Structure 1
Amino acid sequence: MLDYVFLVVGFALLIKGADFFVDGSASVARKLRIPGMIIGMTIVAMGTSAPECAVSVAAALKGSNTMAISNVVGSNIFNLMVVCGACAAFAPLPVKESTMKQEFPLSILAAVLLWVIGNQSMLIGRTDGLILLGVFAVFLVWMVMEAKKARNQAEEEEIAALKDWQCLLYIIVGLGAIVAGGDFVVDSASAIAASFGLSPTLIGLTIVAFGTSLPELVTSLVAARKGETDMALGNVIGSNIFNILLVLGIAGAVSPMEVLMENLIDDIILIGMSAVVWMFAWRRKQISRFHGVLMLAMYAGYMGYICTR
């Protein structure tokens, strides 16, 4: 019973911690007049990806490496099909041409890079982790350059209500809650999986992936409701890039991770679903309500597949 209590407490800490972290970080970004898409791709994506990072690194440290990989791949599929799909079902998501030509392909290339690395030796070693971190560093430099360019072209925006000391407090408290929550989730989820005879891969793809993706879901839905569609889409794409390059990069550098054939299959599914959503967006320069409902249905089919394989 305590495992279930700790699991709920862990998810609560993850969600609330990410909430505080995003509020504080986004307020800083607003003060610097950074546009919504850049905020979503960087500050908000980093904040909402912090649960995946905490869970995957904690799993790597505890030897549950298959959960680390399945958590990232499962979270990315959830982000793309459920978070993006739910936002589109609520309100059509316009997609800028620059996003379709740059950020969207980059997220697909990150998934392809993961498959190539994993397929070579069925292992993400420390060297592989450093390679992923190196690619992430290049991505981050590119995002900083884009932010500077966008800031020079942006009009003056209303400064966020949070004061400087409040921003700092929100960030520190948020990160502390995320780290503690990630530790609770890994311990309790592993214990529950063992008690039911379920594999860590299945738990990572379902319960843990859903729980760590809740911040992305809540943040993107709120952003879409407020008309910040650029931030909602940027959050999803940015989080998926962060999860593969940064999260698995750190986890691999900390402790080598065995790659299962199931992980490679799920990564191929992620690549395929990403390509489908990219085509949806390319045709009409938006992800429509119909596309959103179709994406949710595709995810339901995927859930049925992983629960029965």
Structure 2
Amino acid sequence: MMKIYLLTIIIGFILEMLGADILVKQNICFAKITKIPKVYIAMILCGMGSGLSYLIYTIIRSLQKNNQMIPFHTSITVLSGILLILGICAMTGKIKIYHGVMQQDFSYLIFVEIILLYLSADYLFHGKHSMRVLSGIDGVILFAFFVVYLYIIGKKTYRGIMNDENVKIDLTAILFCGLGIIITTAGGIMMLLSVDKIVIPGLLKKYAGKEFIKILIMIIPNIFISIWSIKNREPDLILGNLLGYSMTCLTGAVGVAAMINPIVISVSGIYNMIILCCGSIMVWLFAYKDQQLNRFHGCVMGTVFVVYMVSMVMR
């Protein structure tokens, strides 16, 4: 059985690579047809498409009443995208950021992170006797932020299409977008569910190896999308993908998971959320004024992430 699970992980890896390639190409195609900034299309098509597998996985784990690790997975995955992946991409050259993204969309992401921290760490604000639990009500609040985000991005894209009467979206392009989302989602689910079944050797198990493998699997779509974006010279897609993916995970996945089954938050999970908020604010400060991230910013972001991960493993 172990060989079957490992083979499933390999097949899922290949599917995610193919799906990410399709999503990037279709994102570029849709941007040319609709004249909508690529970053906003990437938030929906690439970001939410790559985050759908994790959303489904969290639903499965919540139905099994085994969702305690979801906040840990989510915070580290989002942090790795914002600091590590975006930082490495910035190291390859300047990443110019579309006007208004940092002021509006990235600021909204930081606000959501703070809300998630508040809902998770009640004892920070109401005393040590308060429970560190994401209840069903908290889940509804988080999911409401996800719906608002979908409305905001949907309104921007719809307005862009309506402003040009000559826009004609080919049915083939829509089908390819759906195919890319299905392939990416299927690959992610196959990998995540298979990891739950494999046996981790003693040394890796000591350092919560299975959980870190899951985090690695969760960021694979973002890695591939970033690689294909750089290859196609479309850096706008990188930030758009990471923003869409982060919002899907933080509000959609965690929100739905909490609605299905309340989530008990560990103290280390609270620390991860605090670091996530601080890391996001750091990136916001780097990019807000000049609307770009340069190699220096990328080096700082990558270094902060590596130092934090090493310190977390050594604890």
Counterpart in the other structure of 2:107: 105
2:271 and 2:54 map into 1 onto residues whose CA distance is 20
1:71 aligns with 2:81: no
Unmatched tracts of structure 1, length 5 or more: none
Extract unaligned runs of 5+ from structure 2: 123-130
Post-superposition offset of 1:93: 0.8
Q: Is the 8 A contact 2:24 2:228 kept in 1?
A: no
* SS of residue paired to 1:66: coil
Q: Which of residues 284, 291, 297 in structure 2 aligns to 1:291?
A: 297
More helix by share: 1
* SS of structure 1 residue aligned to 2:205: coil
Q: Verify the 8 A CA contact 2:38 2:237 in the aligned structure 1.
A: yes
Aligned counterpart in structure 1 of residue 171 of structure 2, from 144, 164, 169:
164
Task: Supply the distance in 2 between the matched residues of 1:28 and 1:193 (Cα, whole angstroms).
Answer: 43
* Deviation larger for 190-199 or 57-66: 190-199
Task: State the shift of 1:244 in Å.
Answer: 0.5
1:263 is matched with which residue: 241, 245, 269?
269
Task: Give the stretch that moved more between structures: 239-248 or 191-200.
Answer: 191-200
Root mean square deviation, CA, Å? 3.1
How far is 1:255 from its partner?
2.6
Q: How does 1:129-278 map to 2 (within 5 A)?
A: 129-151=139-161, 164-165=171-172, 167-168=174-175, 171-172=178-179, 174-175=181-182, 178-179=185-186, 181-189=188-196, 191-193=198-200, 198=205, 203-204=210-211, 206-278=212-284
The equivalent of 1:280 in structure 2 is: 286
Identity of aligned residues (%): 21
Distance 1:286 1:169, change over 3 A: closer
CA distance in 1 between partners of 2:139 and 2:200 (Å): 27
The partner residue of 1:47 within 43, 46, 49 is 49
> How many Å apart are 1:152 and its aligned residue?
5.2
Say whether residues 1:123 and 2:133 are aligned partners.
Answer: yes
- Following the alignment from structure 1 to structure 2, what is the Cα–Cα distance between the partners of residues 199 and 254? 30
Amino acid at match of 1:47: G
- How many residues matched? 305
Whether the 8 Å CA contact 2:102–2:284 is kept in 1: the answer is: yes
Q: Is the radius of gyration larger for structure 1 or structure 2?
A: 2
The answer to whether the Cα contact below 8 Å between 1:7 and 1:189 also exists between their aligned partners in 2 is: no
Question: In the alignment, what sits opposite 2:306?
Answer: 300
Q: Distance in 1 between matches of 2:24 and 2:257?
A: 23
Kindly tell me: are residues 173 and 77 of structure 1, through their superposed partners in 2, closer, same or farther at Cα, counting changes over 3 Å? closer
Q: CA deviation at 1:287?
A: 0.4
- Is residue 100 of structure 2 the alignment partner of residue 90 of structure 1? no
Q: Deviations over 1:7-63 (max 9, x none)?
A: 334444444445546656775665444321211222221112123223333332334
Q: Does 1:62 align with 2:64?
A: yes
CA deviation after TM superposition for structure 1 residue 178, in Å: 2.0
Letter in 2 for 1:124: L
8 Å CA contact 2:188, 2:217 repeated in 1: no
CA distance in 2, matches of 1:240, 1:267: 13
